Amino acid sequence: MTRLTRRQTLALLASAIPVAAGAEPAFHGGPALPDQPPVGHRLPLIPRVVHLTGPGQAAGQYGGRLRILVGGARDVRYVPVISYARLVGYDRDLILQPDILERYHVANERIFTFRLRRGHRWSDGSPLTAEDFRFAWEDIALNPEMSRGGPPADMRVDGEPPRFQVLDDLTVRYSWDVPNPAFLGRLAAPVPPRLVLPHAYLRQFHPDYAKPEDIARHVAQQRVDDWVALMQKMSRQNRPENPDLPTLEAWVPRTAPPAEQFIFTRNPYFHRIDHKGQQLPYIDRLELNVTSADLIPAKAGAGEADLQMVGLDFADYTYLKQAEKRFPIKLDLWKRSQGSRMVLVPNMNCADAGWRAAVQDVRFRRALSLGVDRHEINMVVFFGLASEGANTVLPDCPLYRPELARMWAEYDPDRANALLDQAGFVRNGRGLRQMPDGRQMQIIVDTTGESTLQTDILQLIDGHFRDIGIQLIPRVSQRDLFRSRVMAGQVVMAAWEGLDCGIPNADMPPNGFAPVTDDQVQWPLWGAHYVSGGTAGQAPDLPAAQELLALYREWQAAPATYQRAEVWDRILTLWGQQVFTIGTVNQVLQPVVRRDNLRNMPDDALYGFDPTAYLGVYMPDTFWLEGKA
């Protein structure tokens, strides 16, 4: 008899709903939608049931809009993150649950079998079937023109993609020869791999299915170069700019850019219901209103947003608290889940040989960390309400150990000076230290300049570093230019945000702690080397980074949760000892503004991109407006 793992048991339990086998679920209500079938015909045979029976939760009423302020049209990407319809997703307790899937089965962490919900449909009413998975994999991911680097990196293990099988109209399977314990977590990510695409709509842009003259017409209409660019533009799920693209999310985009307002309306075929049988979402529409990023706090405080997090920072708290007395808004403070609110990130791959030697010397990195007066930062910028420490996991994390937060994070300028002396960085007559080639230690710190908070913290740290003979010089770059400068090795040090996920469990991949992605500022070339399977970037040449990479692979191969936890512990210890990033403070409070009659939204929660997808795990489709919507 095969023994079920805890993960498999949870998957089976989560897929169970209080409906007799083969029976038609009792749907007691749904929004009246013109030109649409009755709600019972718009739902899967077995929808996902969301039980709104916890503290502060209740089944809601239909209607109304949610206005959200954004700093630019590109922020439409925010909607599929917070809508958070996933094949498998995290719940509020960060336990994986089947969502779009009716159920899943995992064998030996290698073989993943997915079962769809019978009768589930895309937002245009077309059936969701295994063919949508086959199209996404065989016709897009494996197409040499669409994917010139091969299948996506997050679908490869040790450079090898999975074997894909269609078992029947509603069942697909992905199999690897070696364990891939990160797979389900990746599917639950804020931006997951594209495993499923609406083939019935997208075939018209693919040369295997459409006539050349029809594709040429679409290419001309969309003003792109070829069918590849056409497919990329028309199939973007994470940038919902194509109103014609069917979706599985709670709200459907209705606005094509350019625009000053982007409208999303309810998906009539959304697969979730509440415990009373009412189809979700409750809210009729989302309105994303484009404004200057600098004006978002003022407008949110004046009641021009019904739900606002993005564009707000702790510095806005006093103003928003006063505005709460004058306008129909409610202000909450959530705890950020980042490993650190702001970090200094030395670039191990910077092109300047002198600076590269300096930042790769662990004595230099430790000295910088010891030279930061985190208590002053906490008191001056955060009024003493943050926690001081390294960029690591938080107390809410099951992997947390108190010593991790303190590792090389105590303010000790005497010890910092001693380490810099040992590393050979001597002071000149002006009190600044010099590099071996005679240059003064004036560190240019690159930043995107998107937050005055970074500027304020850097100004304080510059004062701290003067006591250890180092000067900081901030340099602001636009985000895209910043990224390209990092990859080109033109950045020595950057001011950035800390670990996206400060609350991982043992089954979540330790991506932020090893050079396994190409978007980490501390080692972009090493990460690119891993992502590309060795065809780009550079292999790590620093022993500590090599060890982290080896530990990451050991985590991948670990067959059980407790073994993965042991590997995590070693990773966290090595990460703390090596100080690859220099943390400041964490558990910073995030202002959350909402309309005062918005219900089912938690008063106190974790805020972050990963793993909570900002609001995603709290299910905005269950939010509703009490009284007059």
pLDDT of residue 520: 93
Quick one: what percent of the chain has pLDDT higher than 70? 95
pLDDT band at 629 (very low <50, low <70, confident <90, very high): low
Report the b/e string of 85-95 with b at 16+ CB within 10 A.
Answer: bbbbbbeeebe
Q: Is the pLDDT of residue 222 over 90?
A: yes
pLDDT of residue 33: 76
Q: Which residues pair with 529 in a beta bridge?
A: none
Is the Cβ–Cβ distance between 241 and 256 less than 8 Å? yes
Q: Is the pLDDT of residue 259 over 70?
A: yes
| Over residues 422-438, mean pLDDT | 93
What sign does the CA torsion over 246, 251, 254, 258 have?
A: negative
What sign does the CA torsion over 286, 291, 296, 300 have?
A: negative
pLDDT of residue 470: 98
Nearest to 502 by CA among 610, 365, 343: 610
| Over residues 57-75, mean pLDDT | 95
For 34-121, list the strands marked E by DSSP: 48-50, 65-70, 88-90, 96-98, 101-107, 111-116
Q: Is the pLDDT of residue 11 over 50?
A: no
pLDDT of residue 580: 98
pLDDT band at 28 (very low <50, low <70, confident <90, very high): low
Q: Is the pLDDT of residue 32 over 70?
A: no
Alpha-carbon distance of 329 to 249, in angstroms, equals 27
| Over residues 237-243, mean pLDDT | 95
Q: Which long-range contacts (CB under 8 A, 24 or more apart) does 39-43 make?
A: 39/279, 42/121, 42/268, 42/269, 42/279, 43/119, 43/269, 43/271, 43/273, 43/279
Q: Is the pLDDT of residue 15 over 60?
A: no
pLDDT of residue 356: 97
pLDDT of residue 13: 37
Alpha-carbon distance of 205 to 233, in angstroms, equals 10
pLDDT of residue 18: 39
Residue whose structure tokens are 């209740």: 58
Question: What are 293-313's pLDDT values in tens digits?
Answer: 999 999 999 999 999 999 999
Alpha-carbon distance of 193 to 191, in angstroms, equals 7
pLDDT of residue 479: 84
DSSP one-letter string for 373-393: -HHHHHHHHHTT-SEE--SS-
Is the Cβ–Cβ distance between 516 and 530 less than 8 Å? yes
Q: Is the pLDDT of residue 29 over 60?
A: no
Q: Which domains does the chain have, with CATH numbers?
A: 53-73+249-337+588-628 (3.40.190.10), 86-247 (3.90.76.10), 342-586 (3.10.105.10)
Q: Indicate whether this model's pTM tops 0.85.
A: yes
Alpha-carbon distance of 214 to 211, in angstroms, equals 5
Is the Cβ–Cβ distance between 227 and 207 less than 8 Å? yes
pLDDT of residue 247: 98
pLDDT band at 459 (very low <50, low <70, confident <90, very high): very high
Average pLDDT, the chain: 93
Is the Cβ–Cβ distance between 464 and 371 less than 8 Å? yes
pLDDT of residue 154: 87
pLDDT of residue 23: 41
Alpha-carbon distance of 249 to 83, in angstroms, equals 6
Report the b/e string of 519-531 with b at 16+ CB within 10 A.
Answer: ebbbbbbbbbbbb
Q: Is the pLDDT of residue 10 over 70?
A: no
- Which amino acid is it at 624? W
Question: What are 326-342's pLDDT values in tens digits?
Answer: 999 999 999 999 999 99
pLDDT of residue 31: 67
The DSSP bridge pattern shows strands 251-253 and 261-266 to be antiparallel
Quick one: what percent of the chain has pLDDT higher than 90? 86
Higher per-residue pLDDT: 479 or 98: 98
Question: What are 359-377's pLDDT values in tens digits?
Answer: 999 999 999 999 999 999 9
Q: Is the pLDDT of residue 4 over 60?
A: no
- Most distant CA pair in the chain: distance in Å? 85
Q: From residue 277, give the alpha-carbon distance in Å to each of 68, 272, 475.
A: 28, 9, 55
Q: Quickly count: other Cβ atoms within 10 Å of residue 477's Cβ.
A: 18
Residues contacting residue 420 through CB under 8 Å, at least 6 positions apart:
363, 364, 367, 433, 468, 469
Nearest to 264 by CA among 30, 67, 59: 67
Q: From residue 535, give the alpha-carbon distance in Å to each of 445, 452, 488, 514, 539.
A: 30, 39, 17, 18, 10
Question: What are 175-194's pLDDT values in tens digits?
Answer: 999 999 999 999 999 999 99
In this structure, what are the phi and psi dihedrals at residue 168, rounded to the nearest 5 degrees?
A: -165, -170
pLDDT band at 21 (very low <50, low <70, confident <90, very high): very low
pLDDT of residue 6: 37
Is the Cβ–Cβ distance between 69 and 303 less than 8 Å? no
Half-sphere exposure of 473 (CA within 13 A, CB side): 7
Question: What are 512-571's pLDDT values in tens digits?
Answer: 999 999 889 999 999 999 988 888 999 999 999 999 999 999 999 998 999 999 999 999
| Over residues 377-402, mean pLDDT | 96
| Over residues 240-269, mean pLDDT | 97
Residue whose structure tokens are 């405080």: 301
pLDDT band at 2 (very low <50, low <70, confident <90, very high): very low
Cis omega (within 30 of 0) for bond into 611: yes
pLDDT of residue 450: 76
